[in-house]
């Protein structure tokens, strides 16, 4: 039989297609028990006045005030009885909102994006072409990128009739435009963002046994934000490409990966202290012994727990446990939130805490406005200030050192120690938020599947034992395994590696597919 030109062309097309698929699959393994690595970096570690530089005398008053302003604005959003999808930490100066950002790939071929990692929000959200007023550069010295729906071969819009759109519509302003699912969010500082839901390939690095880095992909739904207003979303100051939410709801990255049997619905972080530059962030079944757990409060949108008592030294404070509880109308409560820098206590609890602390500390102090500072310049605070213990439902206790409630502040050529906890009544609310200063130097586990939060004192520079599931046993994930990439080649789609510096985010796979 005579073979025509078209038949030959078709055969060659099939051969080339087969070779292409083989090359792609040769870079995508069956990643049972793999650790998925996302690059994460601390965004304020080089801020003038932050006190994080070696030899610094402490944080400046101006910097501390900006951190408090951020936390108060964020606490107002926590009070709303909405999903964390509407709770993007985007108000105020980007530099002070959200402490960590990571690098990931989206689309085919994958393009690089830098997004903040936040436990208080759900949706993965990036700036998108054509974008109105999106920043084009960042003084964090990272390249910014706009997601291009026309520049990826695997992206598609989410239909208005999809379950994801219905979930979004239940907690935000949304509408159907050209059969696509559009949303709009507003924030306490007056900033707004508009966009629509899309689905595309998420590319990330993995660790497969013996710290071998491999590539993996997964289809994921995320927001394509094309219209921003307000200073915090439109300026280059501390700008990133978007937000990567690790919240409690179904649209969060960890929940989507768990629903697709890519990971367990559990993650943990270990944030280093003031002299550190990050820590560890792991998604998977944490296997460390010594963790204590308390239940999450059911039917809440954030990581609410039941704090019951507080002791200062050996003295139990006279506080009604109801002060820390979620009220009948859904207000109040106690929240774990890595996006809050400091800590907020309900008004009555804060007053009792401060009064007892002043009663037992012998060094002179001064209170200006709502900040109390102690005339103690030495870095040694454990010999002067008492430890504090938080008591939670189920008997779990969290032991806090003075560094978990104090910060070192610059004063002329000297320094002093000031309270880093504040009363939430200053923001017009009455809830408690345990932020980074409380959670630092601890391994904190968010077990969403079993609705519990656990913690233990931990060296954030050491490895964490994580199980890969499917009988793969536990492996150790080390911080700083790779660094944030200094270069990126979108043409090498199947070998995209997202290295990390300062803070490792490791996602532990149950079973990764070779196809998406």
337 is catalytic: yes
Residue 156 region by backbone torsions, left for phi larger than 0, else alpha for psi between -120 and 50, else beta: beta
Of 71, 87, 118, 285, the catalytic one is 118
Element (H, E) at 360: helix 347-360
Strand partners, 224: 126, 196
CA distance 459 to 280: 10
Q: β-pairing, 242-245 with 111-118?
A: parallel
Dihedrals φ, ψ of 351, to 5°?
A: -60, -45
In whole angstroms, give the CA distance from residue 342 to residue 477. Answer: 28
> CA-CA distance, 95 to 445, in Å (whole number)?
26
Question: To 5 degrees, how large is the angle CA 206–CA 290–CA 419?
Answer: 90
Active-site residue (options: 285, 337, 436, 447):
337
Say if residues 319 and 307 touch (Cβ distance below 8 Å). no
The alpha-helical segments, DSSP class H, found in 32-157 are 61-79
DSSP state of 509: B
Instruction: Quote the distance between the C-alpha of residue 450 and its chain's center.
Output: 20
In which region does residue 53 sit, left (phi positive, over 0), alpha (psi from -120 to 50) or beta (all else)?
beta
Residue 118 annotated in active site: yes
Q: CA angle, 226 as apex, 236 and 147 as ends, to 5°?
A: 80
Q: Record the tokens describing residue 410, joined without a space.
A: 């610059």
Q: Are strands 406-411 and 414-419 parallel, antiparallel or unpaired?
A: antiparallel
- Whether 503 and 40 have beta carbons less than 8 Å apart is answered as yes
Query: What is the C-alpha R_g of the chain?
Result: 24
Q: Looking at the annotation, which residues are catalytic?
A: 118, 337
């Amino acid at each position: 039989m005579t073979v025509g030109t078209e038949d030959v062309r078709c055969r060659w097309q099939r051969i080339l297609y087969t070779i292409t698929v083989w090359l792609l699959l040769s870079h995508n393994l069956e990643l049972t028990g793999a650790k998925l690595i996302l690059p994460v970096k601390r965004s304020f570690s080089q801020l003038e006045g932050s006190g994080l530089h070696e030899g610094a005398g402490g944080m400046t008053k101006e910097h501390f005030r900006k951190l408090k302003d951020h936390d108060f604005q964020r606490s107002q959003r926590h009070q709303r009885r909405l999903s964390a999808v509407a709770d993007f930490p985007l108000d105020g100066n980007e530099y002070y909102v959200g402490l960590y950002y990571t690098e990931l790939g989206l689309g085919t071929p994958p393009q690089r994006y830098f997004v903040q990692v936040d436990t208080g929000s759900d949706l993965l959200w990036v700036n998108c072409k054509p974008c109105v007023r999106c920043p084009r550069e960042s003084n964090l010295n990272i390249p910014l990128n706009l997601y291009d729906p026309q520049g990826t071969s695997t992206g598609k819009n989410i239909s208005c009739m999809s379950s994801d759109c219905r979930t979004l519509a239940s907690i935000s302003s949304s509408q159907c435009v050209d059969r696509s699912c559009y949303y709009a969010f507003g924030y306490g500082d007056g900033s707004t963002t508009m966009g629509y839901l899309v689905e595309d390939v998420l590319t990330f690095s993995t660790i497969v046994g013996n710290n071998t880095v491999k590539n993996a992909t997964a289809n994921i739904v995320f927001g394509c934000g094309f219209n921003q207003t307000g200073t915090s979303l439109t300026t280059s100051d501390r700008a990133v490409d978007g937000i990567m939410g690790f919240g409690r709801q179904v649209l969060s990255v960890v929940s989507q990966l768990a629903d697709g049997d890519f990971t367990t619905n559990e993650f943990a972080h270990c944030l280093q202290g003031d002299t550190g530059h990050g820590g560890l962030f792991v998604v998977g079944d944490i296997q460390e012994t010594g963790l204590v757990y308390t239940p999450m409060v059911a039917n809440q949108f954030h990581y609410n727990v039941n704090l019951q008592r507080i002791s200062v030294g050996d003295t139990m404070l006279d506080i009604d446990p109801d002060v820390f509880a979620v009220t009948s109308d859904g207000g109040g409560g106690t929240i774990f939130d890595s996006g809050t820098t400091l800590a907020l206590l309900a008004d009555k609890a804060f007053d009792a805490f401060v009064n007892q602390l002043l009663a037992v500390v012998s060094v002179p102090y001064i209170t200006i406005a709502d900040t109390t500072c102690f005339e103690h310049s030495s870095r040694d605070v454990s010999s002067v200030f008492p430890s504090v213990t938080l008591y939670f439902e189920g008997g779990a206790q969290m032991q806090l050192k003075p560094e978990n409630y104090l910060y070192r502040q610059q004063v002329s050529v000297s320094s002093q120690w000031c309270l880093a906890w504040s009363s939430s009544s200053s923001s017009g609310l009455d809830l408690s938020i345990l932020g980074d200063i409380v959670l630092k130097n601890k391994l904190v586990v968010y077990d969403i599947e079993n609705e519990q939060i656990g913690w233990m004192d931990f060296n954030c520079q050491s490895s964490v034992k994580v199980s890969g599931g499917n009988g793969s046993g536990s492996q150790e994930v080390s911080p700083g395994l790779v660094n944030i990439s200094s270069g990126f080649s979108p043409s090498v789609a199947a070998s995209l590696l997202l290295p990390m510096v300062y803070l490792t985010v490791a996602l532990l796979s149950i079973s990764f597919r070779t196809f998406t």
